[in-house]
Each structure stands twice: as C-alpha cells, then as structure tokens.
Amino acid sequence: MTIAPNSLGETDSNATLALTHDLDRSGPGSGRPFATNEPGLIRGNMISDLERGRLSRVWSHRPQFLHLGLFITAYVLGCGFAQSLAIIPGTGISIWPPSGLFIATLVFASRYSWPWWVLGACVAELFSNFLWFHTPLPAAFLIFAGNALEAVTGAWLVNQTCKRPVRLETLRDVLAFVVLAAGVAPVASATVGSAALAWFGIQSQSFATAWPLWWIGDATGVLIVAPLALVVFQNWRGKAQLSAARWMEACVLGLIFLGIAALSLSGYLPFAYIIMPPLLWAAVRFEFRGAAVALTVLALITAVFTISGASQFAGDPESQKHNQIMLQLFLGISAFSALVVAAISRQHQAAVLTLRESLEALRDRERELSQLVDMVPSHVWRLTPDGEPTFFNKRMVDFLGLDVTDLDKQGIGRLAAMIAATVHPDDAAAFGDTLSHCLATGERFSMRYRLRRADGVYHWMSSRAEPMRDHAGLIVQWYGLCHDIDDQMQAEEALRRSELQLQQMIDAVPVRIWSAVPTGGPVYFNKRYQDHFRAVIANVERLREPRIEELLQELVHPEDAPEVLRTLLTCFETGGGSAMRFRWREKDGYRWAECRVEPRRDEDGAVVQWYGVSLDIDEEVRAREALRQASDKLAQATQAASLAELSASIAHEVNQPLAAIVANSHACHRWLGAVPPNVERAKITAERIIRDANSAADVVGRIRALFKQSTETRTNGALSSVIAEARDLVTEEAMRRGVRISVDVESDIPLVALDRVQIQQVLVNLIRNGMEAMDSGADDGVISIRVRPIGDVVQTEVRDRGRGVEFPDRIFEPFFTTKEQGMGMGLAICRSIIESHSGRLWVEKNEPRGATFIFTLPVEMEAAS
C-alpha cells in the first residue's frame, strides 16, 4: 500500500487499520485518538508534518505488549537453543532459530510496526548475549544489526513476492520463501556477522570460515522456525478443525515419527534421512501445519540427540564442523522437502477440492437445466434432420401420454406415428406438409394446430421449431417449442363469436347505425346502412371516403338536408346529442326517418366517438298525418255543418213566415173572389199576413243582431298576435297542401279593438280561401300576410297566387260561391264581422295572378293616446 504524502489524519488511521488487522486488533483503537487529538499538526510545516505523520503511524502501530513480550521470550529461547547447538567449540555459529521467528513476525506484521519488533529483537538479542554469548557489546550490536537487516530484507522480499497473507500454500510461495527468506536474506546476516566476528577476532574465526556456517545456520533457522511461527500466528485464534480420525492419524504419525527419528538419529538405523517418509507423510496429510510441526519436532529431536552426543552428527571436534554442516544440511533438506511436498499436497488438495466443486456445480447445473427443460410450461421437443422425434420433455410426455420410444412402430416412422396419434385429423395434413416443407428447406417451422391430450381432448397449440446447424451449415437437430394456447384460442373464439353476434345484431336490428370520430368523419355504417347506400346512391364506390355533406345531399330530401346538416354540425361543435326527423331518399321515393345522435366520452369528458341511429318512422309519420288530416276534415265538416245548419236555420226561420204569408195571401184572395166575397175571412187573413210579415222582419233583425252581440267582448289587442294564432291554426293544413305562409308585420302597429275569436275566424277563412285557390295550380304556394298602419286604420292584406277572383263584386254576397261544396257564406260572414268592427273588407286582383283580400280595422284611439 502506498500512502500519499498529503493524506493525513483519518485516512491514515484507516489505512493502518487494514495493515494491522491480522496481528493487532487493538490497532485502530489506539490509532484513532492519536489522529483525532492532533488536528493542529495539519497546519504545520509540510515536512515535519510528514515525519510526524509517519511517527504517529509507527506509534499507532505499536504491537500489543503481550505479543511483544512473547516475541522477546521466544527470541531469547531461540538464542538459547542456538547456543545449545553451537557444538563447535568457541563459536556460536549454528542453527539460528531467531532468524526464522524474526522473519515470520515481520512478514506477518504491518510494515509500520516493524520498528517495534526490531527494537524487541534488539532487546532480546542483547539480553541473550548477556546470558550466553558474552561477545563485546559493539560486536553483539553489529551482529544484531546483521540479523535485523536479514529479517527486514527477507520479510520485505517475501511480502513483495507473495500474496498476503503469506500462508506458503502454493509451490510458488514455498519456493519464493525458500529462495528469498532462507537463501538470499541470510546473506546479509552472514556477511555482517562474519565480518563482525572477523573484525573483533572473536573465537579466532576468519570471515571465510565463518560465513558459510553463519549462512547455513540462518537458512536452516528460517526454514524450520518460520513455518512454525507462521502456523502459530495464523492459528493464534483459529480453532482445531481436525476430525477424530485425523487426530488419531496425527497421533499415530507422531509416534512413528518420534520412533523413527529416535532410532535413526541414535544410530540404530543406518542414516538420518530415513526420517523422510514419515516427514513427507506429515507434509502430505497435514500439509503446511504438519510439515511445520514435524520439522520443529525433528529439529528438537536432532538437537537433543546431537547435544547428548548420541546422534550421528555428534562426534569428535575434528569432524565437528563437518557434522555441523551435515546436520544443518539434513535439517535444511528435510525442511525444504517437507515444505515443497506440503505445498504440492496443498495444491493437490485444492485442485481436488476445486474439481469436486466444479463437478458438483456442473451436476447442479445439469440438473437445473434438465429441470428447466422439464418444468418450463411448454413442450420442448427435438427432431432429427429427417424429422424423427428424438426427445420430448416431461410436460410433453405427460400431455401426450407417450414418449418418443412409444412411437416406434412397425412400418411407419416416428414422425408419421406421432402425427397419426396426436395431431387432430383436420390439422394432420397441414401439419405434415408444413413440417416436411420446413425439413426440406430449413425454414423456421411455425404453426397452430390441435394436439390430442392423453385423455383424448384436443388442445390448440402454437408450435415453433428452428434448426441447429453445424459449422458447415448442415442441420444437426431441430429444436421445437410448443405451448398450449387452447385457452387463448377459446377466448379468441369466444371473442370472435361474441363479436359476430354483436355484428349480426347490429346488422339485423331494423335501424341504421353509424358511428363517426369526433372530427365528424364517418367511420362505420352497419349493413342496413350500406345496403341503403347501394340501393340509393348510383355508384357507391365513387364515395370511397364519403363526407357527411355529400352523404346528406345524396340521402336526405333536399328540403331537409340543410337542416339536418346544421343540426349535425351543431352536435359536433357542442358535443351534445340530438334527435331529428327528416325524409330519407329510398329506392322508390322518400320515407320519414328519425335520427338520434349521441357522443361517447372518455373519463375526461372528451368526445371519443359519435354514434347515430336512424329509425324508419315513415308509417308512424304517415299515420299521424292521416290522423291530422282526418281531424282536420272533421273540424272542417263540423264547421261546414255549423255553417250549413246556420244557413238552413236562417232559411227556415225566414221561410216559415214567408210560407204563411203566401198561403194567407192565397186564402185572402179566394175569400175575396168568392161569390159572395167573404170579407170577414179576408180581413182576418190580411191581418195574419201583416203579423207574419212582421215576424219575418224580426227574424232578419235577430240574425243581424247575432253579429253585434260580440261588441262587449272586444279588447284592445295587437293584431300581430292574432295573426300568429291564426297562422298556428292553419299551419298543419298549409304543410299538407305544401303552402308556405309568410307574415310581415311592420313594427309599431297600433292597438285595435277586436274580438280575437272573430278576427281569427276572418283570417283563417281568408287564408284557407287562398290555399284552396292555389290547390289546383302552382307548386310554389305562398300566402303572404302583411300588416301595416295607414292613417288611422291598420290594414291587413292576405295575398295568394291562386286562380284569382272572377266576380270581385259579388263574392261577398251571401250564398255566392265558386266552390262546389261551399255555402257561399264564408266571405259574407267575414265582411259582416269586419264591418261590425267598423272596418272594411274588399278584394283586389294580383298581377299576374291571385287575389289579395284586404281588410282594415280602425285604430283604437284611447289605446293609441
């Protein structure tokens, strides 16, 4: 880890946390207060900051006191062990276990804590020197410096080379450790130590003789102790993971190992290397830990036997040096072999484990895939390039109730057998054709067909298959997928059926239905409508995109079309529904129809669609028309009857006295003509004649009085409203006769005194006369009524375009008529009414034809003023 110079405080303490994690768990706890308690340092000099930062980091990485104490103790014991092995008289050069401990500790510890360990080692070595070596202090310090240099170099190189944490589990790690920590690093210590010995002349050692001994001693120390130390560090808090069998094996191995070691080293066995098999056994079976422990044990046993002199490495002083080297070589080779074998075993174990795991994973995967294929809710199948089925997944087998092997029959192939057994007879031919086409061309297969389920029920299936090709492009297999779309098909079928039903209903109902989008363009017409189009419009195809205006022009009676269009456009504009009646053009004439329009709206209230329905109401309208005509006739008949009755009654009333007068006159004449004349009777009859004549005069007087009776009911009224009422009364009749009534009343018409009912009768009479006059002729029948004030009268004109008046002078005489069914009383009564209102009624001829009846009514002076 590189630490940027300016990364301070919190960041640094975090970095140290990672570095000290393994060895020293209290690191972060001790580091944090330091960093946070010194905020002021950050503002000081950069360099001093850096130094202080480093120092603070070193301080924060101080090891636990217990760890340091144990380290010092172990170091001192290691020195003692070395001293006890220093068999060569006068030299302390032998196996040097502290070097292994030192390197292992530094390898394991964070780099920032190294000063502490170096300091601890220094204390331990100087203390050992005081106990055993008794070298002069400068020399001892120099020697320690060499040792420290060796440990730092070795640890640095191993850390650089090996992956942290260093576990020596791979061959590469072991070799790096052996070469760098046990081979290269001791060079420093050997050089410095040998030079120191030579310089200070201690035990009369020359540099050349001391160096190899020193190097090999340190190397052996590293090889034997460093693994053990690493094992101890790494398992400091770890739990024993060995099973009972392994423990048993470990014990047996330990016994064998101890026995062979004891026997071989004590000389009962020919040579020391016979220990190799159990040692390698330990390395193979217990790997790094086994090797480390066995090596340590071997070193201890060897040391014990050598010191006690029982070992073959013990001997006379001449051969002592040689033996010493042999001993160290024995230990070194043993250690090297054990570590290498342990690493290989470890690697092997790891490889075996990995293999087992990958095998397991592979099996899992295969199972998952197979489950996937079987559990996927579809049929999965496979065909040979010839189309022979070779695989059905479980669902398909369950569905069909047969597997591919069940299709093997005599005479026919599997495919043919499958089609015969499972595909619906109606679909079988198409299925076979499509599949063989696909097989021949390599095109993708896709089809819907009915497949027979095991219980005999056919289900709709959607099937697809694609070929898998090899590098050369040849088809190797066909893979197919097939899912049950029966529900979907059923739903689609139901939908189609309901749609059909709806369509049939829409087409069958005896109305015309249409719909349009909000912009007003027609989008749909039901069949009746379309039939209507075809029947009425000459070439329907011309109106591919019919516009409403065009359609209306084609379909609606020209008189109604503008009104209908206007109503429709208003609907579309305002969004309101409407109902209207108009005449459709049909193949043979026009028929009345009623059309209702309503919009459909979405949630926001915007119009989504317009719907219209048109209903034939021709019979209804005609029936009503007939009814109206009948009632009109009835009214007319009533009126005629009353008029006839009136005139008959008048005739009778006048006729009776006349008849009496005539009869009496004859009688009188006879009495006087008799011989002799009966004057008395003649007188009586003459008196009766006078009486009857007076009675006739009375009748006439009474009739006249009839029209004068209404004087009291007169009110001051506006003529315009009377005209409007009269017009309402004749509207129906006018429509039936095809006559238009136009009314033009000038503003500011003064009030007139009138009997509303009588004036109404006059108007109705005049209008009806006009209409009857136009019956036989022009189709542009118009009755124009015009009212205007002239002087102190209000003049009303009723103008027609009829035959005109042949006898304008006689027309107002009673019983004068030009009509076959008329009494000739209407105009006479009209004139009487008008005259009783102090007005005048006369007629003028129109140019080129027609007549204008004009009547005046005097302005009511009181009302005017």
Partner 1 sequence: MTVDQLPLRRSTPSSQQRRAEAEQPLVIIVDDDASVREALSELILSAGFLPVSFTSTRELLDADVLESPGCLILDVRMPGTSGLDLQHHLAKNGNPKPIIFLTGHGDIPMTVQAMKAGAVDFLTKPVRDQTLLDAVITGIAVDAKRRADAVIVKRNVERVETLTPREREVLREVARGRLNKQIAFDLGISEVTVKLHRGNVMRKMEAASIGELIRTWETLPAPMRQA
CA–CA gap between residue 369 and residue 371 (Å, rounded): 5
DSSP character at residue 235: T
| Beta carbon nearer to partner 1, 352 or 662 | 662
Minimum CB–partner distance for residue 658 and partner 1 (Å): 5
**Cβ pair 787, 746 in contact under 8 A:** yes
Minimum CB–partner distance for residue 828 and partner 1 (Å): 18
| Beta carbon nearer to partner 1, 622 or 669 | 669
Minimum CB–partner distance for residue 681 and partner 1 (Å): 7
What does each C-alpha distance from 772 to 628, 744, 766, 783, 841 come to in angstroms? 18, 21, 10, 11, 19
| Beta carbon nearer to partner 1, 656 or 784 | 656
Minimum CB–partner distance for residue 700 and partner 1 (Å): 16
Minimum CB–partner distance for residue 787 and partner 1 (Å): 40
| Beta carbon nearer to partner 1, 685 or 761 | 685
Minimum CB–partner distance for residue 670 and partner 1 (Å): 4
**Cβ pair 434, 447 in contact under 8 A:** yes
DSSP element (H, E) containing 36: helix 27-37
- HEC profile of 412-466: CCHHHHHHHHHECHHHHHHHHHHHHHHHHHCCCEEEEEEEECCCCCEEEEEEEEE
Minimum CB–partner distance for residue 674 and partner 1 (Å): 7
Residue 93: partners with Cβ closer than 8 Å, 6 or more residues away? 86, 193, 205, 210, 213, 214, 217
> One-letter amino acid identity for 335?
A
Minimum CB–partner distance for residue 689 and partner 1 (Å): 8
Query: Burial of 665 by CB count in 10 Å (0-12 exposed, 13-18 middle, 19+ buried)?
Result: middle
Minimum CB–partner distance for residue 659 and partner 1 (Å): 4
Minimum CB–partner distance for residue 654 and partner 1 (Å): 9
CA–CA gap between residue 174 and residue 336 (Å, rounded): 9
Instruction: Find out whether the peptide bond into 39 is cis, omega within 30 degrees of 0.
Output: no
DSSP character at residue 859: B
Instruction: Name beta bridge partners: 715.
Output: 754
* Phi-psi category of residue 794: left, alpha or beta, with phi > 0 → left and psi -120 to 50 → alpha: beta
| Beta carbon nearer to partner 1, 325 or 658 | 658
Q: How many CB atoms lie within 10 A of CB 259?
A: 11
Instruction: Find out whether the peptide bond into 165 is cis, omega within 30 degrees of 0.
Output: yes
| Beta carbon nearer to partner 1, 285 or 681 | 681
Alpha helix stretches (DSSP H) within 162-206: 171-176, 185-200
Instruction: Name beta bridge partners: 464.
Output: 446, 481
| Beta carbon nearer to partner 1, 408 or 645 | 645
| Beta carbon nearer to partner 1, 304 or 686 | 686
DSSP character at residue 860: -
Minimum CB–partner distance for residue 825 and partner 1 (Å): 15
Report the interface residues with partner 1, using CB under 8 A. Answer: 648, 651-652, 655-664, 666-667, 669-671, 674, 678, 681, 684-685, 688, 691-692, 695
Minimum CB–partner distance for residue 660 and partner 1 (Å): 4
Whether the CA torsion 723, 729, 735, 738 is positive or negative: it is negative
| Beta carbon nearer to partner 1, 474 or 674 | 674
| Beta carbon nearer to partner 1, 670 or 737 | 670
Q: What is the DSSP track for 568-587?
A: HHHHHHHT--EEEEEEEEET
| Beta carbon nearer to partner 1, 659 or 861 | 659
- DSSP-derived 3-state class of residue 174: helix
| Beta carbon nearer to partner 1, 605 or 701 | 701
Minimum CB–partner distance for residue 579 and partner 1 (Å): 52
String of b and e for 611-628 (b: at least 16 CB within 10 Å)? Answer: ebbbbbbbeebeeeeeee
| Beta carbon nearer to partner 1, 543 or 690 | 690
Residue with tokens 């009377």: 722
